Amino acid sequence: MNTYFTFWHYGAVTLITLGLITLIISTLRQSNLTSKASIIFTYTIVALGFVFGALLIIDSYTKKITLSNVDDYRFLPTEKIFFTGSVRNSGNYTIGEVSVEIKIVNKDSAALKGKPSYQSNAFAELIGDGRVKPSYLIVTEVVATNLKPGQRKDFRIIMRHPTYFKGYTSYVRAYGQ
């Protein structure tokens, strides 16, 4: 069973919902208000904003993941890149899903200058490949489910290596849901 909420999440949602119900009841009991619907709508929108913010803040404290032993190597015959490593739950609560996001960036000079795409050169245009290609690739995979506190899980992710990359720089991050 994948669980996103801890008891902290349930507590925050419950408190905000009770506050919203109290505000709605007190608005409905006032007889001199003419636009009760707009006030209730505003309260609801603000309460949803508080719930969203509270969930993000609680996640930052309850879902702590440590990424370690990350290594990558390129397998030339199949033009694939293998990423291996491990994730560990360093928090005090079970994490429903742990995802690893890998971003590889072309080592071409245009890509390193921050341009989002790679423009082929004149020779590539001569042979008919003058398309604009992305200068980075992002792959995200779920590598663990229901990771208990202190538990560690090894992972292996395989992604393709674009043929037009002159090399790559990789950025790896893990996050929990």
In three state form, how does the secondary structure of the chain look? CCCCCCHHHHHHHHHHHHHHHHHHHHHHHCCCCCCHHHHHHHHHHHHHHHHHHHHHHHHHHHCCEEEEEEEEEEEHHHCEEEEEEEEEECCCCCEEEEEEEEEEEECCHHHHCCCCEEECCHHHHHCCCCCEEECEEEEEEEEEEEECCCCEEEEEEEEECCCCCCCEEEEEEEEEC
- Which pLDDT value is given to residue 1? 43
- Which pLDDT value is given to residue 36? 86
Per-domain residue ranges for the chain? 7-62, 65-176
CATH number for region 65-176: 2.60.40
- Which pLDDT value is given to residue 113? 60
Residues 122 and 136: their CA atoms lie apart, in Å, by 21
Of 146, 171, 142, 145, which is closest to residue 157 (Cα–Cα)?
Answer: 142
Residues 102 and 57: their CA atoms lie apart, in Å, by 24
- Which pLDDT value is given to residue 177? 77
pLDDT tens digits in sequence order for the chain, 177 residues long: 456 778 888 999 999 999 999 999 999 888 887 788 898 999 999 999 999 999 889 888 888 888 888 898 888 888 889 999 999 988 888 888 889 999 988 876 555 565 555 555 555 555 655 566 777 888 999 998 888 888 899 999 998 888 877 888 888 888 887
Spatial neighbors of 85 by CB under 8 A, at least 6 apart, are: 67, 68, 69, 70, 71, 100, 154, 155, 172
